[in-house]
Amino acid sequence: MPTTTASKIEQLIDGIADDGYAIIEHFLPPETIAALREETKHLQELGEMHRASTGQAANPIDDSIRGDFVHWLDESSTSDTQRQYLQIMETLRQDLNQSFYLGLFELESHFAIYPPGAIYRKHLDQFAGLNPEHQHRQVTCILYLNETWQHEYGGQLRMYLDGLEPVPYLDVEPTGGTMVAFLSGRFHHEVLEAKRERMSLTGWFRTRS
């Protein structure tokens, strides 16, 4: 693994230790981000991006709640670039376990495309009504794939903080190469409306089901 990537993982671990979340710019090299972006576009052209649902069951699709299209990664049919990403995330999984004793067992990931105007209302990356010991998603990781993103395009990730800070939320620009990681059961968040198509690769580290 490149020294720069190992350093970024160390920064991510430190951020989660201090604040419960981390925002790391240039997490992967620009050429890797570009390759993942092109693969996302290719999946879209092939009709392999499908409307995302909400909750544990395939609830009826509601554009007023969530409007993205997703494609889940399948390790049996990944590209070379996707395998590189998964190898880095496997290193991150091991480091998270070593640092926080989370018992993380696997990573589930999907590409996501938000068409212009799409949103995802405020939510938590754990299922409502389940006891904490039955919540398997522990750490959320979002890698943005957008090219030359500008603030006026919108599409920010709004993370709601603990209520201890003067500002109750933090807006993260979905700039290509930025990785956002946070404790899944701690931070409500939402995706604000964007004026342009918005792409990401989102994953959740899970404990054993």
pLDDT in tens, 43-77: 999 999 999 977 655 555 688 899 999 999 998 89
114 part of a folded domain: yes
Task: Look at residues 111, 133, 113 and name the one whose alpha carbon lies nearest to residue 196.
Answer: 113
Q: Give the residue numbers spanning the domain of 187.
A: 3-52+66-207
Number of independent structural domains in the chain: 1
59 part of a folded domain: no
61 part of a folded domain: no
140 part of a folded domain: yes
- Position 198 scores a pLDDT of 98
10 part of a folded domain: yes
Q: Measured between alpha carbons, how far is 94 from 92 in angstroms, rounded to an integer?
A: 5
CATH number at residue 160: 2.60.120.620
40 touches 111 (CB < 8 A): yes
- Position 59 scores a pLDDT of 59
41 part of a folded domain: yes
What's the whole-model pTM score? Answer: 0.93
Q: Measured between alpha carbons, how far is 66 from 123 in angstroms, rounded to an integer?
A: 10
58 part of a folded domain: no
57 part of a folded domain: no
The two three-digit tokens of residue 104, written as one number: 């993380």
* 14 φ/ψ angles, rounded to the nearest 5 degrees: -60, -40
pLDDT, mean of residues 145-160: 97
